[in-house]
């Protein structure tokens, strides 16, 4: 529908120049840079921050316990493919990827609260619902025969050490209010009194013409803002008034007016100012988050190529203890203005240290029906002729049979062993991180979770909190 799109002049020369950027994605060694700055600026190294920094040492629990939120620490990124493809484009990425737990085991409590809470989590790091290892659980349509096969997990070289890790909860009570709605609206230049309708705080008319804001009553206080007047791909709503003499409907010139005549919407390309790109877009997104009352320093930012100079997209990934939490803000910019904004306003409160199981126990949990397995096919593979993308979903139709035409399966030989594929997975890597999860009450928490991986990079996740700190009777 070319009518709807602006037509930025094709500028191959400029695209070529932009693509030739020698520093795209380049990251400094921040520790070294920081030291160099101190040297030059005579900033005393004995201050609290430097002492705290020096006191951190990477260790088994280092990724979770030792690194304070927001510090860029090169080299702490988890080594697995799961989640490492979150976004492309410019930005800073040093926190470990958020872990995603399959919530097949939370039952009915999942529902709307979770889906809106999970709405902000990156689909790209989601994993398909895997059946419990015992079998008998219905496979989702995204599952492949590979994961539908029964899987036996063995740990190799993993540890028996137990320990503790910090858990967190999002506190919507602090954010879900008229005041918050008003503050965010004001920061975006949206006028109007917040009103509560259907349990949702609204600012602005919800008519698809003017800008509007919504605050959801979910576990993370999701916020969404959209300004249609700045959307380069939107058309102003048309008044579909039938006119006599309208031509072009049937190729003839009769122009018969009537109820069925449809006037094409008036869609001329909009003249919108160019949006900042790359690092400048990131800087603007930081301002937007800060103005909305969010601590912009707790996030990592990535600007993505929008393909049009009028639009810029920036994603901001919440980080806590050197981990991405799975909460993501999305900001789209047109010129200096915000065209749309999606995020989560509920602050995180620490829940204290929880006992966590050892790596070996975590592997055992993959076969425990109380925990199930959250399988992730993270590397592109071709299994049984079906291509796999990073979400484990079949990306294309099954590859055509080598012979070209379908044929009936071969006859089964009497007395022969019947094929019953069992996949054996040896897990050699374990990373303790955080996973966003919805409790039966609808509250959203960050739980210590393990990401367990095999040598080929395939990874599974399981909750790490020890049995003694879980309430198995909840929700009954």
The contact set with other proteins (CB under 8 A) reads 11-14, 16-24, 26-30, 32-34, 36-37, 39-41, 43, 47, 49, 70-72, 90, 92, 273-283, 286-287, 296-297, 303, 312, 335-336
- Tell me the closest approach of the beta carbon of residue 12 to other proteins, in angstroms: 7
C-alpha angle 180/181/184, rounded to 5°? 80
Shortest Å, Cβ 338 to other proteins:
14
Q: Which two tokens stand for residue 255?
A: 């122009």
CB 196 within 8 A of CB 178: yes
* 318/359 with CB nearer other proteins: 318
Q: How far is the CB of 185 from other proteins (least distance, A)?
A: 21
Locate 277 and state its tokens: 């790109």
Q: 330 pairs with which residues across the strands?
A: 315, 342
Closest to other proteins by CB, 93 vs 142, is: 93
Q: By C-beta, is 53 or 142 nearer to other proteins? A: 53
Distance of CA 25 to the CA centre of its chain: 20
In the complex, minimum distance from the CB of residue 337 to other proteins, in angstroms, rounded to a whole number: 11
Q: Give the CA count within 13 Å in the CB-facing half-sphere of 411.
A: 3
**Least CB distance to other proteins at residue 288 (A):** 13
Rounded to 10 degrees, the C-alpha dihedral 453/457/460/465 comes to 40
Yes or no: say if 445 and 351 are a contact pair by the CB < 8 Å rule. yes
Contact 200, 214 (CB under 8 A): yes
Q: Which is nearer to other proteins, 186 or 387 (CB)?
A: 186
- What does DSSP assign to residue 137? S
Q: Which is nearer to other proteins, 27 or 256 (CB)?
A: 27
In terms of DSSP bridges, do strands 381-383 and 374-376 run parallel, antiparallel, or are they unpaired? unpaired
Q: Who's near 405: CB < 8 A, 6+ residues apart?
A: none
φ, ψ (nearest 5 deg) of residue 56 = -80, 130
Task: Quote the least distance from Cβ 66 to other proteins, whole Å.
Answer: 18
Give me the least distance between CB of 323 and other proteins, in Å please.
17
Among residues 70 and 149, whose Cβ is nearest to other proteins?
70
Q: Would you say 148 or 276 has its CB closer to other proteins?
A: 276
Distance of CA 86 to the CA centre of its chain: 7
The smaller minimum CB distance to other proteins, of residues 294 and 362, is found at 294
CA distances from 396 to 60, 193, 343 (A): 40, 49, 32
Nearest-approach distance from CB 377 to other proteins, in angstroms? 32
- Give dist(CA 145, CA 130) in Å, integer: 11
């Amino acid at each position: 529908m070319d009518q709807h799109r602006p037509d930025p002049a094709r500028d191959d020369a400029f695209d070529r120049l932009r693509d030739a950027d020698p520093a795209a994605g380049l990251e400094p060694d921040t520790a070294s840079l920081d030291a160099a700055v101190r040297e030059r600026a005579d900033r005393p190294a004995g201050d609290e921050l430097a002492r705290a920094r020096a006191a951190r040492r990477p260790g088994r629990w280092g990724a979770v316990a030792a690194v304070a939120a927001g510090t860029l620490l090169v080299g702490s990124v988890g080594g697995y493919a799961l989640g490492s493809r979150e976004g492309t484009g410019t930005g800073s990425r040093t926190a470990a990827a958020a872990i995603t737990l399959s919530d097949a085991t939370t039952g009915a409590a999942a529902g709307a609260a979770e889906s809106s809470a999970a709405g902000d989590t990156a689909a790209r790091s989601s994993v398909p619902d895997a059946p419990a290892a015992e079998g008998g659980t219905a496979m989702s349509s995204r599952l492949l025969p590979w994961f539908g096969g029964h899987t036996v997990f063995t740990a190799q070289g993993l540890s028996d050490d137990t320990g503790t890790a910090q858990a967190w909860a999002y506190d919507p009570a602090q954010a879900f209010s008229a005041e918050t709605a008003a503050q965010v609206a004001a920061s975006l230049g949206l006028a109007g009194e917040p009103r509560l309708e259907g349990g949702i705080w609204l600012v602005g008319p919800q008519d698809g013409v003017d800008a509007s804001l919504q605050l959801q009553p979910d576990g993370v206080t999701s916020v969404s803002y959209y300004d249609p007047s700045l959307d380069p791909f939107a058309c102003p709503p048309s008044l579909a008034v039938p006119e006599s003499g309208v031509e072009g409907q049937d190729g003839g010139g009769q122009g018969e007016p009537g109820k069925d005549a449809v006037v094409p919407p008036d869609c001329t390309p909009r003249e919108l100012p160019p949006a900042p790109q790359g690092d400048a877009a990131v800087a603007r997104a930081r301002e937007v988050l800060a103005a909305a009352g969010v601590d912009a320093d707790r996030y990592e930012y990535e600007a993505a190529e929008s393909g049009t100079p009028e639009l810029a997209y920036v994603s901001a990934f919440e980080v806590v203890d050197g981990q991405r939490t799975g909460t993501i803000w999305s900001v789209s910019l047109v010129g200096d203005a915000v065209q749309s904004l999606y995020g989560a306003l509920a602050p995180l409160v620490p829940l204290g240290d929880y006992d966590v199981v050892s790596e070996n126990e975590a592997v055992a949990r993959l076969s425990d029906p109380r925990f199930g397995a959250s399988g992730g096919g993270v590397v592109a593979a071709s299994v049984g002729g079906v291509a796999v993308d990073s979400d484990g979903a079949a990306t294309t139709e099954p590859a055509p049979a080598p012979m070209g035409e379908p044929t009936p399966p071969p006859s089964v030989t009497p007395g022969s062993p019947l094929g019953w594929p069992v996949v054996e997975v040896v897990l050699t890597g374990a990373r303790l991180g955080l996973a966003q999860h919805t409790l039966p009450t609808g509250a959203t928490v960050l739980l210590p979770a393990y990401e367990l991986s095999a040598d080929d990079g395939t990874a599974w996740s399981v909750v790490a909190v020890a049995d003694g700190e879980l309430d198995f009777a909840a929700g009954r």
